[in-house]
Chain A
Amino acid sequence: MVPAKRESLITQMRRGTLEYCVLALLRDQPRYGFDLVRTLGGADGLVTSEGTIYPLLSRLRRDGLVTTTWHESPSGPPRRYYQLTAQGQQALALFTTEWDRFTDAVDRLLRQGGSP
């Protein structure tokens, strides 16, 4: 496949899923921006430029899915930690259920071409 096509395909797939990957990373513990962004950046193909995560975090906060709190850091100035709200937990749970159904359906079609 031409690289440009591949790039736009990944961009489209990323568009709807990235915010839930962020929520998933926050499910078990709050994280500060750099930690969150680095972890996401380590996942292959998910993030092309780390800085674009920050506008997403800001959107999630305005939508009430995450909140921020300040915590002391072992070195340097206090850090802004992001954590899931109850609403964020619900959104993540809903996405997880739907994602499983969706990927199952797509996987079946991709492998068998729809034959039973």
Chain B
Amino acid sequence: MTTEADALTLRYLQELEAELHDLPANRRQELLDEVREHLAAARAELDPETEAGVRTLLERLGDPADIAAEARERSGVPSPPTRPATPRLEIAALVLLVIPFLGWVVGVVLVWLSRLWTTGDKLVGTIGGLSWVAAGLGGILTAAGGSTAVGSEPLGPTETSVLAVVVFVVPFVLPVAAAIYLGIRLRARTAPVRGRLPS
């Protein structure tokens, strides 16, 4: 098998990584490595490996939030995590992402500075924010191809509209889509944690 088992394991590790966001990077990496090794050893003992078996392993490991709480306590990171009431950096990044050109660049930089988004989220933000680079290149190449082809007819209505989509729609729409996605992820990330009370 076992794409489903791989997917479950991967999702679990991603959740754990997100829960550990406020730990020092080396501590977070160490813990992720150990849990990854645990899962590899545990899965190697499953014969045959079934999806249900992998689910049981993950249940025994426990809720990533519990592991993160334990890690905070054992490493002296304040619990519940101290975090600005409003994620200012993240909101600034989202606003900049929908402002063309310079805003896109600075927005992408801010997205990477954030500790609230996962690496996957950040890649979405980067692809969205920098989509104008690809679109611009595509536009230039298309335009260059059209004008240098000897004896070719001028661009027809179809090519022109395709060009318009590539040059204008893609770079303006994708950053907005990426910002919306990141906003949703941000809400999901901040809401439950803020609601968690110290025990």
Contact = CB atoms under 8 A, between A and B. Distances in A.
Contacts of B60: 41, 49-50
B109 interface: no
A80 B73 CA distance: 23
B44 interface: yes
A51 interface: yes
Nearest to A15: B73
A33 B38 contact: yes
B99 interface: no
A49 to B, nearest CB: 2
Interface stretch (B28-36, B84-92, B110-118, B145-153): B28-36
Given A58-B30, A59-B75, A33 B66 contact: no
Interface residues of B, number: 24
Contacts of A80: 34, 37
B27 interface: yes
B34 A57 contact: yes
A73 B61 CA distance: 22
A50 B123 CA distance: 32
Given A58-B27, A58-B74, A77-B40, A49 B66 contact: yes
B1 interface: no
B41 A51 contact: no
A115 interface: no
A60 to B, nearest CB: 9
Majority secondary structure of chain A interface residues (helix, strand, loop or mixed): helix
A57 B34 CA distance: 10
Residue from the set A34, A37, A48, A79 with the largest chain B CB neighbour count within 10 Å: A34
Contacts of B71: 54-55, 58
B82 to A, nearest CB: 19
Listed from nearest, the 9 A-B pairs whose CB atoms lie closest are A49-B62, A34-B41, A55-B71, A51-B61, A51-B67, A52-B70, A59-B74, A55-B74, A55-B70
Interface of B: 16, 27, 30-31, 34-35, 37-38, 40-42, 44, 60-64, 66-67, 70-71, 73-75
6 contacts: A32-B41, A34-B41, A51-B62, A54-B67, A75-B44, A76-B40
